[in-house]
Amino acid sequence: MDNPIAANILGTAGAVCWSIQLIPQIIKNYRLHSTKGLHHTMYISWAIAGIPLGVYNLAQDLNVALQVQPNILIFLSLVAWAQCKYYGDRWRLPRVLLATALVGALIGGVEAGLYFALRLGKRRGVEWPLTLMAVLAALLLAVGVLRYYWEIYRARSVQGISYLFVSIDAGGDLVSILAILFSPRIDVVGIVVYSVELVLWIGIGLLGVHYRLRVWICKKLSKEEEGGENS
């Protein structure tokens, strides 16, 4: 399936999705001045996940769009994390800005250091650290999504979650998988990283349908009962 043009187009599409994925959630948080139903660990885990994912994509020399993706994820995740601290934990704005800047600088420094270390190791034929980066990325991305599952379980609803965000993120994972499949060298580990998150997002979507459908059915039954009592 070696098709560099298709790989670049799909990789770019994935980068675009990851560029805008969290924007609907960020806008929703801003409009409501609330992050109810969300938790800051979701977003800080994604920001941290951007480190091993970025290092892996860069060291493996995947197409440019896939190399840019993780850094966009880090930035948007930190914005959403800052909103959770501001709206949810009631941190003052200067404290939020300072903490976000410090965390962002730390993440950038760690990513740069790991990249140069792993590139050196790769030149010397040491490949296992790259696999470790991919595994860590998959785990941290999964932790972020699994926190959604916990919040949904606690609230028995999907309140606070932007389904436009979920759809865009899942779409980004899907086209990123396709981009790797069309690359000259199929990176199985990279496919697994994106597939883990994709499967978890599909689960979130199914839970959303379940809870919203249940609310609709309950309302409909309630109206029918009221109609029966009035007749």
Tens digits of residue pLDDT in 167-197: 888 888 888 888 888 877 777 877 887 888 8
User: Which residue has 């993440």 as its token pair?
Assistant: 107
The dihedral of CA 152, 157, 163, 167: what is its sign?
Answer: positive
CA dihedral in degrees (26, 32, 33, 36; nearest 10)? -80
pLDDT band at 223 (very low <50, low <70, confident <90, very high): low
Query: Which residues neighbour 231 within 8 Å (Cβ) at sequence distance 6 or greater?
Result: none
Token pair listed for 145 = 């999504």
- Helix, strand, or coil (residue 33): coil
The residue with tokens 């480190």 is 51
Per-residue pLDDT, 93:
94
Residue 131: domain span: 4-229
Domain total of the chain: 1
Q: pLDDT by residue (tens digit) across 125-175?
A: 888 888 888 888 888 888 878 877 887 777 777 666 777 778 888 888 888
Q: Report yes or no on whether pTM surpasses 0.75.
A: no
Q: Is the pLDDT of residue 83 over 80?
A: yes
- The H-or-E segment that residue 223 falls in is helix 188-230
Element spanning 20, H or E: helix 4-20
Give yes or no for a contact between 53 and 176, defined as CB atoms under 8 angstroms apart.
no
